[in-house]
């Protein structure tokens, strides 16, 4: 039996004796302190890694003794504190013993190493004495070579694009410029700085473990990756190579670091791309085949196999010609040869495939030569089922022929109807021209003579006569306005209204339009306010004046108190879209705002429809044809190349805006 075994058995026996003694004696006694003796005996003979089991066993026995010993009214809290201190003492003794043994073993190793070195050195010195002269010259040569080697190594380290470092006790003793550059420091900043400052906290424990294994000699060389932190806070992915060395008599780590951040990103992108392609290949509702030089199917996606009624393994390894119609196999072989002769070019064809059950399948295929990882050419074929579209095309051709026949018949009928419509349009134009002449002439006479009589140019008239003459004058003007609106509407709808381009000042034009409603506004006690810029415009002056007059007339007509406010401003961006072509982005907006009754939301959509008048239950009926806003909108869009908008709050008033280009070419 070895001395070590004897010591262990003795410690076990002594431990058992102390435990029995502790259980049999009252709680107040401290026999459990004697566990320190077998612990010290065993700690000197068991392996260092197993020392931690000794205080653990002593702690367990001490705790058991607390529960098994007779208490005899002894204060349990004191006993718990005492035994807790005793357990702490056992752990301290174990720790100190472990440290002492580690130091002894290190010392023994150093001693053995020293003895070996002394023996080697003695032998070397003996040999050196015999060849002293030669050794001196050899040493001198070696020193020169060493200096050259050191100089080369220094140049290599200083100019290398790999980060080299030397570290002792977790602190950098040396770092080449590229190592410092990786972390955003200068080489001088890193010397005497701890490596833990350069490592992401999540990786510190793993890195500590790697370095500790190297320092303890468990592993001579290390290779691992970790996440580092640059000076500016950017996280890096780094690959490290290191080994244990001796620097100035102490264990140290020498190593190299490579920044693989971009490589990792590329790998992640590649993995993502591969996964995405695999998902696309497996899930896309398109048939995908890969063929080799002989036309053998190397792979097929699930959708492609299912469309042909096969399992994937039934198709892979088979000739692609077998799934084509016999009459099309020659064309398929020729197309595949073309693909392989011209890599990179995409070929396209429509041919027939045969399903497993014998059914016919028209497919449209795209094929291109590609290269596998070994550089061998393959053919990638992507195809879709166009059977339905081919059948639809056939049906479409039949329908097209029938439709052509019907179109010819309808064209003939439409030509006849169009001739009749042209004749009706000619008659309508003649009627409007006749009405314009036959009605306007007597109507002008009625209006003119009514004005003469009302103004008493032919003699005085009484109040009743004045009232009747005023009614005649109003009715005549209303009829004349209706006649003009109908004529304008007819011209617009027939496309016969061409803009008469003039240059004029917009402010002057607005003042002229305001003068047309000034009398009526004063009679109703309304305020008329104009805020206009001075801007020369080139457009149809008469039609713009007509549109403004229509909007101002409506504003005054439907406003009982408050006022009407006109604003002219230049626009740099579109507030609302223009319907006509605009040769220049410069536009002007004329806004007419009133404080009248407003328009209900459900009525706003009907504002610009012909012969539609919006009636409010809160206002007495007013005269009108229902054509004013419709004509205004058509003139603005088709003649002035602009647009009209309206915004209104019922009971608060309305705002109408005309937006037109400053110049029409």
pLDDT value at residue 527 = 93
Minimal CA–CA distance to 484: which of 418, 425, 539, 435?
A: 435
**Residue carrying the six token digits 């205004």:** 632
Under 8 Å between Cβ of 510 and 566: yes
Among the listed ranges 16-30, 318-332, 349-363, 511-525, which one has the minimum average pLDDT value? Answer: 16-30
Query: Taking 50 as the threshold, does the pLDDT of residue 582 lie above it?
Result: no
Please report the sign of the dihedral spanned by the C-alpha atoms of residue 306, residue 310, residue 315, residue 319. Answer: negative
- Kindly state whether residues 96 and 195 are assigned to the same domain: no
Span 58-64, average pLDDT: 80
pLDDT at 535: 92
Q: What is the mean pLDDT of the chain?
A: 81
Q: Quick one: pLDDT band at residue 644, thresholds 50, 70, 90? A: very high
Is residue 121 assigned to a domain?
Answer: no
Domain at 337, CATH number: 3.30.450.20
| Contact criterion met (CB below 8 Å) for 658 and 548 | yes
Say whether both 508 and 638 belong to one domain. yes
Residues 569 and 638 in one domain: yes
Domain range spanning residue 413? 390-496
Whether residue 120 is contained in a domain is answered as no
Domain closes at, from 361, 385, 409: 385
Name the pLDDT band for 27 (thresholds 50, 70, 90).
low
3-state secondary structure 237-261: EEEEEEEEEEECCEEEEEEEEEECH
Amino acid 573: pLDDT = 52
94 and 172 assigned to the same domain: no
d(CA 43, CA 50): 9
Whether 242 is in a domain gets the answer yes
Q: How far is CA 539 from the centre of its chain?
A: 47
Residue 575: pLDDT band (50, 70, 90) is: very low
Instruction: Show the CA angle centred on residue 455, arms to residues 452 and 459, nearest 5°.
Output: 80
Give the per-residue pLDDT at 436.
59
Q: Give whichever of 1-10, 14-23, 76-85, 170-179 has the largest mean pLDDT.
A: 170-179
The average pLDDT across 630-641 equals 88
Q: Does 124 map to a domain? A: no
First to last CA, the chain: 119
Q: What is the dihedral of CA 598, 603, 605, 609, to 10 degrees?
A: -100
Q: What is the pLDDT of residue 661?
A: 94
Tell whether 279 is covered by a domain: no
E-strand ranges in 269-392 read 287-291, 297-300, 347-354, 360-371, 377-385
Q: Is residue 114 part of a domain?
A: no
C-alpha span between 236 and 265 (Å, rounded): 11
- Clarify whether residues 177 and 231 are in a common domain: yes
Instruction: Say what the pLDDT of residue 102 is.
Output: 81
Could you read off the pLDDT of 540-557 as tens digits, one per residue?
A: 998 899 899 889 998 998
Residue that terminates a domain, selected from 230, 265, 300? 265
653 and 505 within one domain: yes
pLDDT of residue 52: 79
624: left (phi over 0), alpha (psi -120 to 50) or beta: left
- Residue 581's pLDDT is 45
How would you classify residue 184: left for phi > 0, otherwise alpha for psi between -120 and 50, otherwise beta? left
Residues 467 and 506 in one domain: no
Q: Do the beta carbons of residue 231 and residue 182 sit within 8 Å?
A: no
Res 484 pLDDT > 80: no
Does residue 462 sit in the same domain as residue 529? no
From 60-64, 167-171, 409-413, 420-424, the region with the lowest mean pLDDT:
420-424
Three-state SS string over 53-118 comes to HHHHHHHHHHHHHHHHCCCCCCCHHHHHHHHHHHHHHHHHHHHHHHHHHHHHHHHHHHHHHHHHHH
Q: Give the pLDDT confidence score for residue 447 in this predicted structure.
A: 75
| 642 in Cβ contact with 662 (< 8 Å) | no
**Residue 511: band (very low, low, confident or very high) from pLDDT cuts 50, 70, 90:** very high
Cα–Cα distance measured from residue 170 to residue 168, given in angstroms and rounded to the nearest whole number: 5
Share of the chain above pLDDT 70, in %: 82
Structure token digits, residue 86: 């005793």
Per-residue pLDDT at 427: 64
Looking up residue 604, the CATH number of its domain turns out to be 3.30.565.10
> Crossing angle of helices 36-43/76-130, nearest 10°?
20
Same domain as 177, residue 91: no
Burial bucket for residue 488 (CB in 10 Å: 0-12, 13-18, 19+): middle
- The Cα 316–Cα 340 span in angstroms is 20
pLDDT at 267 over 90: no
Residue 274 in any domain: the answer is: no
Same domain, 334 and 421: no
Domain finish residue from 454, 479, 496 = 496
Cα 370 from Cα 377, distance rounded (Å): 6
Looking at residues 440-462, what average pLDDT do you find? 76
**pTM strictly above 0.75:** no
How many domains would you assign to the chain?
A: 5
CATH label of the domain that carries residue 425: 1.10.287
Residue 51 forms part of a structural domain: yes
Provide the pairing of β-strand 360-371 with 501-505.
Answer: unpaired
**pLDDT bucket at 531, cuts 50 / 70 / 90:** very high
pLDDT > 90 in the chain, percent: 12
pLDDT one-digit tens code per residue, 468-480: 777 787 666 666 6
What mean pLDDT comes out for the span 67-87?
73
Model confidence band, residue 418 (pLDDT cutoffs 50, 70, 90): confident
Q: Which residue has the tokens 């806003």?
A: 629
Q: How confident is the model at residue 75 (pLDDT cuts 50, 70, 90)?
A: low
Same domain flag for 414 and 561? no
- pLDDT average, residue stretch 264-274: 79
- pLDDT of 366-406, one tens digit each? 888 888 777 788 888 888 888 888 878 888 888 888 888 88
**307, 375: one domain:** yes
């Amino acid at each position: 039996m070895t001395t070590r075994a004897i010591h262990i058995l003795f410690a076990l026996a002594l431990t058992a004796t102390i435990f029995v003694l502790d259980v049999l004696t009252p709680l107040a006694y401290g026999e459990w302190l004697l566990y320190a003796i077998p612990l010290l005996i065993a700690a000197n003979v068991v392996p260092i890694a197993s020392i931690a089991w000794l205080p653990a066993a002593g702690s367990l026995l001490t705790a058991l003794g607390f529960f098994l010993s007779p208490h005899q009214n002894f204060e349990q809290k004191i006993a718990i504190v005492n035994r807790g201190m005793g357990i702490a003492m056992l752990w301290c003794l174990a720790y100190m013993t472990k440290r002492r043994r580690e130091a002894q073993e290190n010392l023994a190793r150093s001693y053995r190493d020293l003895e070996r070195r002394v023996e080697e050195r003695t032998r070397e010195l003996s040999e050196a004495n015999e060849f002293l002269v030669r050794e001196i010259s050899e040493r001198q040569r070696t020193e020169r070579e060493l200096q050259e080697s050191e100089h080369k190594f220094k140049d290599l380290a200083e100019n290398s694009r790999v980060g080299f470092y030397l570290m002792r006790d977790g602190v950098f003793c040396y770092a080449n410029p590229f190592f410092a550059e990786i972390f955003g420091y200068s080489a001088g900043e890193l010397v005497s700085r701890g490596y833990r400052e350069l490592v992401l906290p999540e990786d510190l424990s793993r890195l500590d473990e790697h370095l500790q294994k190297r320092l303890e000699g468990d592993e001579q060389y290390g290779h691992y990756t970790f996440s580092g932190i640059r000076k500016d806070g950017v996280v890096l992915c780094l690959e490290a190579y290191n080994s244990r060395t001796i620097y100035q008599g102490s264990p140290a780590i020498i190593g190299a670091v490579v920044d693989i951040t971009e490589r990792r990103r590329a790998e992640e992108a590649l993995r993502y791309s591969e996964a995405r392609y695999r998902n696309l290949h497996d899930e896309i509702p398109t048939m995908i085949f890969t063929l080799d030089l002989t036309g053998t199917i190397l792979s097929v996606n699930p959708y492609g196999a299912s469309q042909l009624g096969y399992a994937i393994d039934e198709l892979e390894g088979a000739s692609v010609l077998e799934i084509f119609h016999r009459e099309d196999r020659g064309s398929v072989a020729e197309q595949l040869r073309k693909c392989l002769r011209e890599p990179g070019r995409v070929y396209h064809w429509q041919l027939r495939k045969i399903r497993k059950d014998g059914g016919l399948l028209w497919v449209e295929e795209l094929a291109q030569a590609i290269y596998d990882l070994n550089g061998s050419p393959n053919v990638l074929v992507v195809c879709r089922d166009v059977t339905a579209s081919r059948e639809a095309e056939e049906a479409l051709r039949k329908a097209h022929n029938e439709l052509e026949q019907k179109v010819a018949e309808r064209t003939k009928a439409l030509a006849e109807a169009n001739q009749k419509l042209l004749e009706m349009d000619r008659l309508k134009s003649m009627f409007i021209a006749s009405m314009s002449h036959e009605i306007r002439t007597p109507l002008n006479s009625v209006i003119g003579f009514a004005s003469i009589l009302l103004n008493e140019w032919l003699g005085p008239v009484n109040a009743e006569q004045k009232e009747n003459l005023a009614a005649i004058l109003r009715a005549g003007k209303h009829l004349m306005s209706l006649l003009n609106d109908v004529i304008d509407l007819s011209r617009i709808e027939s496309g016969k209204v061409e803009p008469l381009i003039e240059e004029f000042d917009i402010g002057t034009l607005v003042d002229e339009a305001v003068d047309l409603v000034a009398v009526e506004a004063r009679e109703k006690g309304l305020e008329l306010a104009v805020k206009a810029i001075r801007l020369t415009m080139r457009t149809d002056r008469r039609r713009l004046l007509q549109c403004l007059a229509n909007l101002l007339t409506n504003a005054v007509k439907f406003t009982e108190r408050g006022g009407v406010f006109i604003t002219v401003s230049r626009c740099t961006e579109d507030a609302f879209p223009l319907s006509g072509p605009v040769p220049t982005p410069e536009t002007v907006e004329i806004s007419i705002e009133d404080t009248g009754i407003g328009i209900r939301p459900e009525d706003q959509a009907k504002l610009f429809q012909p012969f539609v008048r919006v009636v409010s239950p809160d206002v007495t009926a007013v005269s009108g044809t229902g054509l004013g806003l419709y004509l205004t909108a058509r003139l603005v869009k088709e003649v002035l190349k602009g647009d009209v908008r309206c915004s209104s709050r019922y009971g608060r008033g309305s705002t109408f805006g005309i937006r037109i280009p400053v110049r029409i070419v």
